[in-house]
Structures are given as C-alpha cells and as structure tokens.
Chains A and B, each alone.
Chain A
Amino acid sequence: MTDRPVIAIGLGALVFAALAFVPYMVDGYGMSLAIAIANYTILATAWALFSGPTRYISLATVAFFGVGAYTVAVLGEVLPWPVVMLVAAINGCLLALLVGLSTLRLAGIYFVIFTFGLTELIRQVVTWYEVKVTSTVGRYVFLDIDQQAIYWQLLGVAALLFLSGYLIGRSRLGFALRVIGGDEMVARHVGIDTTRAKLLLFVLSALFMTLTGAIMAPRWTYIDPAIAFNPQVSFQTVIMALLGGVQRLWGPLLGVIPLTLLFDWLNAHFPNHYLLILGIVFMLIVYLLPQGVAGALARLRGLRSRKERASAAMKEARQ
C-alpha cells in the first residue's frame, strides 16, 4: 500500500496533462465553458479545503477573488505578469491573515455574517475610493493574455490546489482539522493548536481564490467593484461545493460541473428567472442532498457492500 500516494499523484498528473489539450479540441464557446468550470473548480475546492473539515461557512470567497482581480487592474500594465501575480498573492494572504486572526474565534453564525459583511465593506470602500480619489468607477484591463493562456494558468493553479489538498489530507494538519470539525473542544484538549491550524488553512484557501481572481481579470477587459466583488460568486461557490460534497477533495468537482452547465443554460434561456431557479436549486440541495453528491455516493456504496455482505453471510449460513 506504500505506493498509493505515488499512484494517486501520477493519475492526477495524467488527468491534468490530458486536460491541457482541451483548447485544441473545442471552439470559442467550449473554451469559455472550460474556463468557467476551471474557475469554479478552484474556488469551490479551495472553499471546501477550509470549510469542509472546519464547518465554517465563509461568504468571503469573492472578497479574495476581487482583491486578486483589482491587483491586476491596478498593476497589470505597470509590472511584469509574474510580479503582478506575486503581489496579488501577497495581498490575498495578508487580508486572509487579518480576517483569520480577528474572526476564527467566532463560532458558527457570527463567522458567516462577518465574512459577508467584510465583502460588502471592501466593495463599498473600493467604490468610494474610486469615485472620490481616482474619479473613476471602473478600470480597463488591457493585457495581452488570451483565453487559452487563462485556461492553462487556471489549470496550473487547480493542479497545485489538488496536490496541496491531497498532501494536507494525509498530513498531521489534515488530521488536526478533521478533529476540529468533529469537536473543537476535544481538539483543544488533545493538544491541537486549533487557531493556528484553522488560520493556516484559511490563508491557503484564500491564496488560491486570490490567484484565480487575478488570472480571471484579463477576461473582462473592464472591471468595477460591482463586477469584481459580486456576492453572487461567493453564493455560487458555496452551492457548488455543497452539492458536490465537502468531505472529499474531489467532492466539489461533482457540484461544479453540473451547476456551471446549468447556470450557463439558465442565463441563456431564462435570464429573468435566473435568481428564482438558483434559489430552488439551493433549497433542493439543502433538503435532499445534505451530504452532497459525494456523500450520497458513499452512502449508496456503503449500503450496497453491506447488502452484499449480508447476502454472503446468508449463503454461508445456509450451507
């Protein structure tokens, strides 16, 4: 069994290598779908990386995403691309550290509301700053980065995210987080520095969200605070991760793919009833699939294997 990690990582690498050829096989529309899926895969997986084990529901996804996008909008034409990405990453980590240090003591509801309030606060302050100080509402992002380059960058970040998620899951930190998710009091009593563990993961998860925002920025060419800090992005990330299931690393992916396709279709066919249907989907997930698709699959498998064992035992008993 010692070879398992090697096999898993090798398989993952193969899948990502295959996905890198997608741009040569699809048209413009397929490309934009692929980018949307890659985008939400990173956001939802990064969200679940922190919220899955700790059960802290964060609505600040778009705060980090927007910080990344705005870093590109402000510095994109001044500095070389890798440096811009580095600055974005630093900004995101600093913000996450600040938020994490001040809020991770807050339990449940307070954390949810805080993260939501934080996003709105940042959006309001950026809007005010842009209107009052720089006298613009939006900014143009003219960078020579095409769709394929965006896709490959997202794919690279996603590969990095899955690799770190996999390694964390097998590390002491991952185990500590699972204990915290089970019962924080117990975790503290067995000597886990819960605040440190949560903070580390929160910053890591925020880092990936910030990078995604930075990579996605050139796609819009025009951004303003309402676009960059659109709370809808946070909501959709939560729905997708929950539909997929947050207890496994690949769980959110099972939510991202169907919902990205669904939202795209809804936007095209029912733009006026988009919110209504979004709400219904959300409710259905909460009521019918509280553990997500991954959880339901696991339960199904558990049920089947129990049945098989039972029938095997019956056979034995008869002989």
Chain B
Amino acid sequence: MLTNAILSGLTMGGTYALVAMGLTLQYGVSRIMNLAYGEFVIAACFAALVLFASAGISPLVALLVVAPAGFLLSWAIYRLLLMPLVRRAPSRGALEVDSILATFGMLFIVQGIMLALFGGDYSSYSYYNTPVDLFGTTIAANRLIVLAVALAVALAAWAFLMHTRSGTAMRAVAVDPVAAGLVAIDVRRVAAAAFALGGAIAATGGVLISMFLTFNANIGVVFTMKALIVVIMGGVGNVVGALVAGLILGLAESFVATFVDPGLTIAVTYAIFLAVLIVRPQGLFGARAR
C-alpha cells in the first residue's frame, strides 16, 4: 500500500510539476496571472480525446500536434488580447489586476465553448490501461508512461532555461524586466515567447492527464488552483522549485487519499496552500521578500 501510494503520488506529482512549470513561466516571465490556465489544460485533454477516438491517433503522437497548437494559440492570445493590457498598465500591480480580470473572462469563454461542444459529462479513454508489476505492487502502464514523459519534458524545459541563450533571456526578464531591456533583450518578444511556451507546456500536461484521469469541462479551475499552489510553493518563476513542489503536492495528496480519507484530498491541498501563503509567501525556496 505504501509503494502504491508513493507511485501514484509521483505520477500525479509529475503532472502537477509539469503543468505548474508552464504557469510559472507565464507568471514569472510575462507577468500575466493566467486564471484560464487550467481551461487550456482541459482543452488539450479534449483535443487528445478527439484525436484518439475519431482518428485512433495515440496521445503520444497527438502531443506533436497539440503542444505546438498550444504554443501558437497562447502566442496569439498574448499578442492580441494581453498586449493592450501590458501597454496601458501604469504599474506591475495594475497589470496583475487587469490580467487577472481579463483571463477570468477567458476562463468562462473557454469553459463555455467546451461545455457547448462536449457537455458537462466526464470523459476518458483507455490507452495502455494494462497492469504492470513494479516493486511488488501493480500500476497501470499509462501512469508510468505519463510519469516518464512528464519528467522528460520538465527536464527539457529546465535545460532550455538554464543552458540556452533564449532561456537565459527569459530568466533575465523574470528577474528584472527593466534591466533586461538595458542589456538589449527585447522584453516584449521574450515575454510573448515565455507565455507561448507556458501554453505549450499546459497543452502537454493536458494530453498526459487525459491518458489516465477522467475529466470534464468544469474541472479546469482545479488544475489552475493546483498549478498556482505549486508555483507559489516553489517560488514564482523558479522552475526547479515548481518541480520539487509539484512532487511534494502529488505525494501529499496520494498519502491523504490512501491513509486518511479520499474525500479530504482537495481540502488538504488548499490547507497546505493557505499555510504556505501565510508562513512563506515567497515560496519554499524563494528568498525574495514581497
């Protein structure tokens, strides 16, 4: 039972970490608090479902289509809808409020479209749902695939941010947009790219989630909240922090569900979150005081 709890906790945690990395890029670099983030995750779930059910395309192949689509869509949203807000905002605080409100509207629009297309019922599909024996316990093969892909994508994103020129530019903008501009970084382009990259990661997370969880048009908010919890726990803009915090959250949920009461998992999530906000609003690994 313990190994089972750890394994399923790691799978959930891996997806949380991945999904949260996208949000931490969007919020940390582009300074857009995207409350519709979870809706984009769920939209990718439905995209994978449609591709799988209608054309028999494996979700892993679907990733090659859905992730770039997420990138382009997010880029377009940033350019068309969010740029005007960035331009008119007199201060960072004002931009935060405006972006919260605008993406709030987006949340309802995306959710409304999904409700109109797919209705409110839970959907899922069966992909590699075969049991595998591992460390004396059985786990569905798709969960292992999800864990592997999530960690691979998260590592790739980490390597991009740490070891490439564009990634370094993104981190520079996250630290100080004004100073980044002074060293000839095109802040607006980098911000748009980071927002788009966050969208691609959200889409990837969505496809992975669709492989092993049931989902419906209404649960995007849950993923937004969990991603936010992970982002704040890990420290805003801190990719490694998001990875660690995501795994912690997944494990905590899995342990509560196994050993305490499945009905309390979401309550525990929020309780952890509220506690972190009160005690360490700068995140578990952050040093910056806000």
Binding site for B on A (CB under 8 A): 55, 57, 102-103, 106-110, 112-114, 116-118, 120-121, 124-125, 127-128, 131-132, 231, 235, 238, 242, 272-283, 286-287, 290
Contacts and interface: CB of A to CB of B under 8 A. Distances in A.
B112 A102 contact: no
Given A57-B100, A116-B225, 18 more contacts: A57-B101, A103-B278, A108-B93, A108-B96, A110-B232, A112-B100, A117-B270, A118-B270, A120-B225, A121-B270, A128-B264, A238-B101, A275-B112, A276-B109, A276-B112, A279-B105, A283-B106, A290-B88
17 contacts: A55-B97, A106-B277, A112-B33, A117-B229, A121-B270, A124-B267, A125-B267, A128-B264, A132-B261, A238-B101, A242-B101, A278-B108, A279-B106, A282-B101, A282-B108, A286-B98, A287-B84
B115 A275 contact: yes
Interface of A is mostly: helix
Interface string B250-261: 000000000001
Nearest to A125: B267
A132 B263 contact: yes
Interface of B is mostly: helix
Contact of A283 (B97, B109, B116, B229): B109
A86 to B, nearest CB: 28
Contacts, number: 112
A251 to B, nearest CB: 16
Contacts of A238: 101
Contacts of B97: 55, 57, 108
A103 B33 contact: no
Interface residues of B, number: 42
A277 B271 CA distance: 33
A133 B60 CA distance: 44
Contacts of B274: 114, 117-118, 121
B44 interface: no
B255 to A, nearest CB: 17
Nearest to A102: B278
Interface string B105-131: 111111111011000000000000000
Contact of A120 (B106, B111, B266): B266
A108 B31 CA distance: 12
A125 B267 CA distance: 6
Nearest to A128: B263
Contacts of A121: 267, 270-271, 274
Interface in B195-230: 221, 225, 228-229
Contacts of A280: 105, 109
B75 interface: no
B264 A272 contact: no
A14 to B, nearest CB: 36
Query: What 5 A-B pairs come out closest when comparing CB atoms?
Result: A276-B112, A279-B108, A282-B105, A279-B109, A275-B112
A283 B267 contact: no
A284 B97 CA distance: 15
Given A108-B93, A283-B105, A290 B270 contact: no
